Amino acid sequence: RPFYRRQGNNMTDTVRLVLADDHEVTRTGFVSLLAGHPEFEVVGQAADGQQAIDLCQELQPDIAILDIRM
């Protein structure tokens, strides 16, 4: 089922993501995986927890994918 979120007076079907993992290769893999899906937009990447918090506060993504053991 499609995802829609309100952006001002418009509806959009793009899900905005922040990825957080201390391994760059993992982040790169997620970006590559999601690149083939136009409904997802990676708006930020973080290498540690504090950077993830800062990006989420600044960018207000719909979803944050976090490495639990980071």
Residues 6+ apart with CB under 8 A from 63: 15, 16, 17, 18
Check pLDDT > 80 for residue 24. Answer: yes
More confident residue, 7 or 67: 67
Element (H, E) at 17: strand 15-20
pTM over 0.95: no
Q: Which domains does the chain have, with CATH numbers?
A: 5-66 (3.40.50.2300)
pLDDT in tens, 40-51: 999 999 999 999
CA dist., res. 20 & res. 23, Å (int): 9
Which pLDDT tens digit goes with each residue over 1-20? 455 555 655 556 799 999 99
CA distance 48 to 58: 16
Residue 16 and residue 41: Cα distance in Å, rounded?
Answer: 5
Please count the residues of the chain: 70
Can you tell me the distance from the alpha carbon of 67 to that of 21, in angstroms, rounded to the nearest whole number? 5
